Amino acid sequence: MPRFLVGDELGSIKSVTYDEKARPDSKSQLRTLYDGTGSGRTRGIQRLAISSRDDDTLVRRTLSLSFTVFSCTSNGAFRLSTLGEEAGSPTHKLAALPSRLTDWRLGCNKETFAYGGDEVDLSVWNTERAFQSSSSSEDTSSIPLNNTKKRKRANDALFPGEVWRAKNVPNDFLGLRQPVHNTCLTYISPPGSGGQQHLLAGTRFGDVRRYDTRAGRRPVSDFKNVGKIGGLRTIEKGFSEHEAFVSDQGSNLFALDLRNGGILYGYKALDRYTRIHSTFPPPPVAGKRADERSTTLEKVYVTTVPTVVIWDQREETEADEEEDENIWETLKHVGGSDGE
């Protein structure tokens, strides 16, 4: 039975389960796992993550096993925290990344991570090497301003730990430089031979760009005007080949065909409902109409505005539900008053 975790603007975490075999009036169940309403709107949930091992979710493993947590702030403070069974404070490793970041993603095997931001090109780093040095590969402060070629080479040099960095798209039809406004990104496949990576990045202008690190630094595909309102907010790879899901700042959700950038289907104006949709793979040939159309299977009113939704990627039984309630009751709050 699929289960989705929902974070909202008041800092609460809820679970929504859906059983298509149940009676029409009881197909979905809503439960509050963590009540954060006491903090008001000061601690809204911005991101949720699930890590699985041996069919067990991260929140379950925290009760008996040690685990690591990666975090990154918009000003480039990158942290690796290790928590274990023994009593005491967690251990931390710190690294410095560029500032003005808008999104950060850990790779499938945790060996690499990627980020992008406001005037920050999409970049891929080696996770282990990122904590070995935080200094720049070359100091540009001593390069004369009129030496544009040398300064450009210095700006293109990779940081220690950085393995690849995207290059801006060509100038527009007026010959003007196009600004870099990455708003979201995701890996779309496991790393290939030689560390090859495939990534998607969304922009403030509503464009979706596909990158192949082996093919070069510029995007191999640049799909224009996918987002309709305020640029793209979230992008995720789909379950099928050539499929991705994107949403914009107007809460519009679209399924995208990565072969030609066409929109397969979409949903408009999401609100305080958590909706569960059916999905279908893209047609065998790009540009052809799909044989089946996606539908809304269920919608659940959650009283507050959802800010993030994830699927826990596991089946849930009745025994699991009862055990999960006990887990959330025994979890202790970790962190200071500043929310870190």
Residue-wise pLDDT tens digits, 108-167:
888 999 999 999 999 999 999 999 865 444 444 444 555 555 545 656 789 999 999 999
Angle (nearest 5°) at CA 120 between 119 and 121: 115
- The low-confidence residues of the chain, meaning pLDDT below 50, are 54-64, 135-143, 151, 316, 319, 335-340
User: 256 to each of 275, 282, 313, how far by Cα in Å?
Assistant: 19, 9, 22
- Report how far residue 119's alpha carbon sits from residue 89's, in angstroms, rounded to the nearest whole number: 36
Q: What is the largest CA-CA distance in the chain?
A: 73
pLDDT at 12: 85
CB-based contact 263:287 (threshold 8 Å): no
- Report how far residue 25's alpha carbon sits from residue 106's, in angstroms, rounded to the nearest whole number: 39
- Report how far residue 70's alpha carbon sits from residue 106's, in angstroms, rounded to the nearest whole number: 8
Report which of 108, 116, 111 is spatially closest to residue 126, judged by C-alpha positions: 111
pLDDT at 57: 42
- Report how far residue 85's alpha carbon sits from residue 116's, in angstroms, rounded to the nearest whole number: 35
Handedness of CA 50, 53, 59, 60 (dihedral sign): positive
CB-based contact 102:116 (threshold 8 Å): yes
pLDDT tens string 75-109: 999 988 887 655 566 788 899 999 999 999 999 88
pLDDT at 59: 39
Q: How many CA atoms lie within 13 A of 340 on its CB side?
A: 11
pLDDT at 53: 52
